[in-house]
Chains A and B, each alone.
Chain A
């Protein structure tokens, strides 16, 4: 049986996530210095890995030069290919979550299908439409594409950071970028999070947003992390 394109894609994606997880592990250990916790995703990913990565797939990946000769590690070429697949997958998730308003549980399967169908050009357009997001709805980073660095907006984005929103506009929060746990928690404590409806009152000297009956002042750095869409 020949190895299909789709199976290859999936294998690459898993390898990418595994590497991501290894990096994540380090950070996680940092948070609990000295605790020596068990790896958090190990079990889950090993399971997925065994079920799908059959010998054939592995040898096919090797033949194409995607993984190292002796180890299950991505080569530069493999990394490039995997990045594009992961990017398409997570952009697809964002699209379904932000624009099509599907729930987190609903989007996993269709996203898997989409990642094989989208061309790079389409992915870039979706990326632009979504305001060049950094994270998928599950909080995993979306690899950057060419469109992100040029910042040329050939079409009006449907989702954009709050600092690109007009004063007086009523918008709904699509998501909050979350590298900083504290920032997200603080915003959530004022009920600023996915789904909340806010009005931007002013941008200078500080951002003022109205949510329910409260006025919240924010600095620009924080406003840039809040992605919103028109209602």
Chain B
């Protein structure tokens, strides 16, 4: 896809400024400081998978700033990384700020040497300069700036260091003046491309990735230009037995090595830094797994105990149960009397008694504690290290370690995690990961409620639940990997450095996520409870209950009241889980609670997730996924019921 200004809602005359850079160099932080707009920022590559833009004023001039997902090459491999190319060739921004990780300058220069062929005025922002300094890396900024022909500034964006200087420098952006010594034949081809595309950039990308770029040019520049490009490429390639991509990459790397050696000095550190020692421990096979279990336990204690039990008890029982709800109920009944409307508002399944109470008293404390813990894990850089630990396991189910990231993010929100499956290399991997997320990765809200449910049951149910869900997930993914055609990509993944998380970012991130939950999710839930209230009053619910009776009561052995829960499950499974919690306290047997919980864990997460699956994977795949999951969830839950009957547990 090619982006245009129109698509972003911009006018043709709007001056744009694109932030481009390798993954995980802090583009989003720079974006936030320049525009004042909040961006989700984390310490792993691929936090930003979509573009966003905002306005900033520099020396009195207003500009639109575009944040792009990080990429190491403009001839990209994965879907999210194509965005940077599409922005540069489609929107043709007036200026580019390349954000670089100062401690990994060589990779930044590799990218720069591709970028410069687009002949756009640029600035090089050496970000994370604080981390380079602590590693005793010195960069001769002025000399480098002279050599590249563009302004070079140093920033540590998380600390706002150097930002005002960056803002001041924006107007001084210049066209890069440095050449890579390409062989004559390649140089000739690049100049011929220039006549077609006005700069050598697109041609360079064509030589680097002819397959991918061929269809790109066909779609965006037309068949005729694509044919011309192809002919130039053939003529150039004829001279070499190796891929041109290889030769070009070698020349670029040679140049950046030269620049690096000339302008970057690193003193040797005497000892291995503590950071590195800890990093090794987290991935070592002997220490890695105990550390993982320890982290898991801490998160459980914080979210599952402190959040889901202590805080929830206090809010639900003491505040809402004893004070707020009785008061509201009296108030409503007093003012409008008993009847259908007050039933919908404050009845057993009322908008207030259930909708508001669950949202605020049950789910809010859980997701707040969860996102706090999760943000810390995200920012310290621990999560990507799990990819290395789990790679071998994931390869058995048609994925590789890279898929750990969307899976873990799924515990935060399945919908957002489904979007990040774009970082996976092949279509097959993306489908399997999407299926797993939808099938059995409970999101934070649901997980919290499940913790609360499990606290009511004998402890072995918790382990049983984990084993059951994990085994079903692995089984289904394994089957899918056998059935679906296609390959899995290589596992090659960068592990970001371990960092001490910044309190400010943790609090901000949690705040925005909770805010998102309150503003986007709670209204849906209120609407859901309202509709169910209406269905109850009008008798529709009774009909559905009778219809589902053979499945709910016959196969799964649950009381007919639970039908309501499954209807809620179609809207969001966390609310369905909250419904189970409610019933578990009053009328379900432990085994029934367990069966209902299993069914709802395996359910489709929520309407929003379903919509995102359609958007990312297409209607067909989305329907296939849901068409599989719902019967499967009921089947497995019922199976437990049948087995426990035979064993006489019930």
Contact = CB atoms under 8 A, between A and B. Distances in A.
Q: Are A and B associated in one complex?
A: yes
Contact of A182 (B110, B280, B490): B490
A185 B77 contact: yes
Interface in B104-128: 104, 106-107, 110
Interface string B455-481: 000000000000000000000000000
B392 interface: yes
Contacts of A221: 490
Interface stretch (A32-40, A68-76, A109-117, A121-129): A32-40
A185 B245 contact: yes
Interface stretch (B235-243, B325-333, B358-366, B611-619): B235-243
Nearest to B243: A181
Interface in B204-237: 208-211, 214, 230, 234, 237
B283 interface: yes
Given A214-B494, A219-B395, A194 B230 contact: no
B246 A139 contact: yes
Contact of A41 (B241, B245, B253, B391): B241
A195 B257 contact: yes
A190 B245 CA distance: 15
A147 interface: no
A181 B245 contact: yes
Given A181-B243, A212-B106, A217 B490 contact: no
Contacts of B209: 185
Contacts of B280: 201-202, 208
Interface in B233-290: 234, 237-239, 241-243, 245-246, 249-250, 253-254, 257, 279-280, 283-285, 288
A208 B110 contact: no
B495 A216 contact: yes
Nearest to B132: A213
B265 to A, nearest CB: 13
A213 B108 CA distance: 12
A206 B404 CA distance: 14
Interface string B480-501: 0000000001111111010000
B389 interface: yes
Nearest to B236: A40
From B208, B283, B425, residue with most partner A Cβ within 10 Å = B283
B27 interface: no
Contacts of A208: 280, 283, 388, 495
A222 interface: yes
Given A41-B238, A181-B245, A217-B401, A205 B494 contact: no
From A190, A202, A205, residue with most partner B Cβ within 10 Å = A205
A193 to B, nearest CB: 6
B492 A190 contact: yes
A46 interface: no
Contacts of A185: 73, 75, 77, 208-209, 245, 249
Contacts of A139: 241-243, 246
Contacts of A181: 243, 245
A186 B425 CA distance: 11
B72 interface: yes
Contacts of A186: 77, 490, 492
Contacts of A184: 246
A51 interface: no
B250 to A, nearest CB: 7
Contacts of B135: 213
Contact of A219 (B101, B249, B391): B391
Interface in B303-347: none
A206 B490 contact: no
Contacts of B392: 205-206
A182 B209 CA distance: 9
Contacts of A190: 72, 107, 492, 494
A202 B249 contact: no
A218 interface: yes
Contacts of B137: 213
A217 B495 contact: yes
A204 B279 CA distance: 14
Nearest to A216: B494
A219 B400 contact: yes
A217 B208 CA distance: 24
A174 B490 CA distance: 21
Chain B interface SS verdict (over half): helix
A140 interface: yes
Contacts of A212: 103-104, 106-107
Interface string B406-428: 00000000000000000001000
Contacts of B104: 212-214
B387 interface: yes
Contacts of A44: 238-239
A50 interface: no
A191 B284 contact: no
A172 to B, nearest CB: 12
Contacts of B279: 215
B408 to A, nearest CB: 15
Contact of B230 (A32, A183, A191, A217): A32
B75 A222 contact: no
A222 B490 contact: yes
Contact of A31 (B211, B250, B489): B211
A178 B246 contact: yes
B401 A189 contact: no
A31 B243 CA distance: 13
A181 B425 CA distance: 14
Contacts of B391: 205-206, 217, 219
A199 B387 CA distance: 20
A187 interface: yes
B234 A40 contact: yes
B533 to A, nearest CB: 51
A203 B230 CA distance: 42
Contacts of B101: 213
A195 B492 CA distance: 19
Given A202-B283, A206-B491, A213-B104, A40 B237 contact: yes
Interface in B173-228: 208-211, 214
A138 B392 CA distance: 33
Interface string A206-231: 10100011111111011000000000
Interface in A165-200: 178, 180-191, 193-196
Contacts of B389: 205-206
A171 B357 CA distance: 61
Nearest to A222: B490
Nearest to B390: A205
A219 B391 CA distance: 8
Given A37-B230, A215-B279, A219-B391, 12 more contacts: A31-B210, A32-B210, A140-B241, A193-B250, A194-B250, A201-B280, A205-B391, A206-B283, A206-B392, A208-B280, A216-B492, A217-B492
15 contacts: A31-B211, A32-B230, A44-B238, A138-B241, A139-B246, A140-B241, A185-B208, A188-B249, A189-B72, A190-B107, A191-B106, A193-B250, A205-B390, A217-B388, A217-B494
Interface of B: 72-73, 75, 77, 101, 103-104, 106-107, 110, 135, 137, 208-211, 214, 230, 234, 237-239, 241-243, 245-246, 249-250, 253-254, 257, 279-280, 283-285, 288, 387-392, 395, 400-401, 425, 489-495, 497
**3 pairs of A and B residues whose beta carbons are closest in the complex:** A189-B72, A219-B491, A213-B103
